[in-house]
Chain A
Amino acid sequence: MIFNIEYETMPREALESIQLKRLQAVLSHVYATVPFYKKKLDDAGILPGDIRTLKDLQRIPFTTKQDLRDNYPFGMFAVPMENVVRIHASSGTTGQPTVVGYTARDIDTWAELMARALSSAGATRGDIIHNAYGYGLFTGGLGVHYGAEKLGASVIPVSGGNTKRQAIIMRDFKPTILTATPSYTLHLAEAAEEMGISFKDLHFKAGIFGAEPWSEDMREEIEQKLNMDALDIYGLSEVMGPGVSIECREAKKGLHIFEDHFIPEIIHPETGEVLPYGEVGELVFTTITKEAFPIIRYRTRDITKLNPEPCICGRTHVRMDKVSGRSDDMLIIRGVNVFPSQIESVLMQIDGVEPHYQLVVDRIDNLDTLTVRVEVGEQLFSDEVKKLQALESKISKDIKETFGISAKVQLAEPKSIARSEGKATRVIDNRKI
């Protein structure tokens, strides 16, 4: 099912001419309204009017997450607050989260793109959508919600957590489309199974899974265990939220990027050079229709490649591969973005803790687990076990308060954390994604 035939199947040439027009408009808009972009363009000696072709976009400097932090909270907004109807913020950060805003038209655009995404997974007006993405500052829950309503489907805003109740709702309300993180989905399936509710007896036809990277193996597992088509969806709050790109049910081979709203590029993560289609690099986005929070050449740090081949589903929009990794050290643990440096700052606020730590990430019973190993130096050490255990709980509590995720803390002997060339191995990710 294609929600917007005109735009989603538009011939490339017409699509690119729309992209250019919209790009020129958004550049004039941000140049006039966002001091950050004005300075950036001025410093590079570029005026919005100098961008005459899509290729000219490459002349504009990148925008990074640090730029967003530097302009916290509303410095990147391109409209006055009177026109902003919604604010979201990124997950899991100490210090400054990244804050994004939406006008009424932005919310409508987002709803349209999520409606397209749901349709791409086979959802129609008659479907019941079990939306287990978290509602709140995180864009997942509300993003899917508005798209489902736009499509005219029935949405159950169940949000995350309370797994037993979710299983009962799935049994009784008979939803046909599931939207959730893939790891939570497998956890949900197991919990349901324990309650005697089998997915084989449920009515799901497809699931839309995102907010964390997952593999083809995991697709196979979900499709087999849960008896539904499993589709990957991609999005990030800085660009919009879920619904930037999605796989189609027909091909399940790459995620169509809604190019009438976003211009994707792949760059070499070190040199910044733009790479041709088919080459693996870092994904960069420019939004060309957003009003409140347009973003120009935003470095997502996600590693993938683009495929312009026509798709059997009929969409002409370019496809990105499943994200295969990150060009920085960010970890996504249960959908929460965690940088090792943030854990470090939590640790360093505790008296006597030395900066010798290691994060071990695993996936046990389909849920991401985080173990924080901390070396015990003389300052931390006590001959009393209860004091050491109190230290473990304190670290664990501080991490929970900062990130909202549970971590197991393991005290380790000095020098037991592997150091290579004097540099400690900070992260061991044992998840098979």
Chain B
Amino acid sequence: MQAEQISIFIENKAGRLSDVTGILAQAKINIRALAVADTSDFGVLRLIVNDNAKAEEALKNSGFTVRKTRVVAVKVDDNPGGLHNILNILKNAGINVEYMYAFIQQSGDKAIMIFRFDQTEEAINVLMDKGVTVIDGKTLSTL
């Protein structure tokens, strides 16, 4: 039930993000979700795209350090308290969220959040036990 994210190391300098988006555009890859974590010197760009293998290859060929990361895509009620409900389940199970960000598209009337956990399997089990919908990678890329 895991999904895959592409993580890219980029130096914190002008134009670097657009270099990445340019490479992906050229390879005709669609970006479905993205988040950037940055420090003063460097950043880590996290992407969910429609074709991981193609994206990874295109970026590596251009000299970027790329890594695939296992993440979890979760359906979240799109109303007040929706995200809180999910985080509460995780808190009670003692599972730490490394980071998270929102998927651009909705699935029906639900929002989709991408989570990175330190214990991925446990997190999926706990969430599914509590009736939360976890979307697998394949479904995610066809949304």
Q: Which residues of A contact B (CB under 8 A)?
A: 376-378, 381-385, 388-389, 410-416
Contacts and interface: CB of A to CB of B under 8 A. Distances in A.
Most chain-A CB neighbours within 10 Å: which of B7, B38, B41, B69?
B41
B32 interface: no
A412 B10 CA distance: 8
Interface in B1-49: 5, 7, 9-11, 37-39, 41-42, 44, 46
A378 B42 contact: no
A378 B44 contact: no
Shortest Cβ-Cβ A-B pairs, 10 listed: A383-B7, A383-B69, A385-B37, A381-B65, A376-B9, A415-B63, A410-B41, A411-B42, A413-B11, A381-B9
Given A382-B7, A389-B39, 6 more contacts: A376-B65, A378-B65, A381-B7, A383-B46, A385-B37, A412-B11
B67 interface: yes
22 contacts: A376-B42, A378-B66, A378-B67, A381-B7, A381-B9, A381-B67, A382-B7, A383-B7, A383-B44, A383-B46, A383-B116, A385-B37, A385-B38, A385-B44, A388-B9, A388-B42, A411-B11, A411-B41, A412-B11, A412-B42, A413-B11, A413-B65
Contacts of A378: 65-67
Binding site secondary structure of chain B: strand
Nearest to A413: B11
B129 interface: no
Contacts of B5: 383
B98 interface: yes
Contact of B98 (A381, A384, A389, A412): A384
A414 B42 contact: no
Contacts of A383: 5, 7, 44, 46, 67, 69, 116
Contacts of B116: 383-384
A181 to B, nearest CB: 29
Nearest to A389: B39
B41 A414 contact: no
Given A384-B98, A385-B37, A389-B39, A377 B11 contact: no
Contacts of A413: 9-11, 63-65
A388 B44 contact: yes
